[in-house]
Amino acid sequence: MNLVGNLIWLIFGGIISAILWFVAGLLLCVTIIGIPFGIQCFKISMFVLWPFGRKIEIGNFGVGGLLFNIIWIIVFGWEFAITHLVIGAIFCITIIGIPFGLQHFKFAKLGLIPFGAEIR
**Helix (H, G, I), strand (E, B), or coil: what is residue 4?**
helix
Conformational region of residue 64, where left means phi above 0, alpha means psi within -120 to 50, and beta covers everything else = alpha
Residue 120 contacts by C-beta under 8 Å, 6 or more apart in sequence?
54, 55, 56, 57
DSSP 94: S
Which residues, at least 6 apart from 28, have a Cβ–Cβ distance to it below 8 Å? 34, 35, 37, 38, 41, 76
Q: What number of helices (H) and strands (E) belong to the chain?
A: 6, 2
Q: What's the chain's average pLDDT? A: 91
Report d(CA 11, CA 13) in Å as an integer.
6
pLDDT band at 98 (very low <50, low <70, confident <90, very high): very high
The residues pairing with 58 across neighbouring beta strands, listed in sequence order, are: 117
Instruction: Determine the structural domain holding residue 55 and report its residue range.
Output: 2-119
Which pLDDT value is given to residue 118?
85
The pLDDT tens digits of the residues spanning 38-82 come to 999 999 999 999 999 998 888 777 888 889 999 999 988 899 999
How many domains in the chain? 1
The pLDDT confidence band at residue 6, using thresholds 50, 70 and 90, is very high
Q: What is the pLDDT of residues 109-118, one digit of tens each?
A: 998 999 988 8
